[in-house]
Amino acid sequence: MSGVIDVSRRVPDRLTFLQKLYLPEILRGMWVTLRHLARNLANMKGLPTILYPEARRNYSKRFRGKHILKAREDGMLKCVACYMCQQACPAECITIVAGEHPKIAYEKYPVVFDIDMMRCVFCGFCVDACPKDAIWMTRNYEMAFFSREDAVFSIDRLRETKAEVEKYGYGYRPYYPGDGTTPPSDASMLPVLAGGGERDRLRAGAIPLPDRDAGPGPLNAPSQARKAFSA
């Protein structure tokens, strides 16, 4: 026997008298359910399922869940509204509107930063594209919506909160502790170093600033018009 069951019979077997009554078959099915229930109650630790929401599955630290927007030490968002994540998103679920930041060191900031969670495929491309390390993902997968509007997360729902991180933990992000990589530094928070004043002295003395060495590259080669003029 090959173990193949022939299910191509056109005429099914006739039902017996007890099968036609249906009640014995219903009782037999209920007995199977009751047997499984008794066995699971006697061995709760061996259940193949978890008792959600009291227990939650421990997902990987690279799990791609809900997004969060990271903030600087002064509480301002790291996002500079460069549109890199919006361009990299394959689902086109990110909407950004940039505005001029009141602090000149920050230049721009997102007036609007929306993510449509109904369209998001949680690929993490936005995290990889961000040059400021401003968007991470968490292990928060508990997202249920009653309307389309509820699925659009704005800045107030995307901003990182301590309570959310403690409950779910960080997920996918480009820099992990101990992996040998360092997140990009925030240039706006670094001190401005004073120059040596050399250029000011050259300007005061009407001395032309030294030109950059053009080098031997093909883009720096003399043009045809310059060659003709020299000839």
What is the Cα–Cα distance from 114 to 154, expressed in whole angstroms? 4
Question: Which residues 6+ apart lie within 8 Å of 116 measured at CB?
Answer: 93, 94, 95, 151, 152
Residue bearing the bigger pLDDT, 184 or 80: 80
Q: Which residues contact 217 (CB under 8 A, 6 or more apart)?
A: none
Per-residue confidence (pLDDT) for residue 217, from 0 to 100: 46
pTM exceeds 0.75 = no
d(CA 64, CA 136): 9
Amino acid symbol at 110? P
Contact 182, 152 (CB under 8 A): no
Write out pLDDT tens, residues 19-34.
778 888 899 999 999 9
Alpha carbon distance 222, 218 (integer Å): 9
Q: What is the pLDDT of residue 220?
A: 47
pLDDT recorded at residue 10: 64
Write the pLDDT tens digit of every residue in 130-152. 988 899 999 999 998 999 999 99
What's residue 92's pLDDT?
Answer: 93
Outline where 121-187 has alpha helix (H).
125-129, 155-158, 162-168
Residues of the chain above pLDDT 90, percent: 43
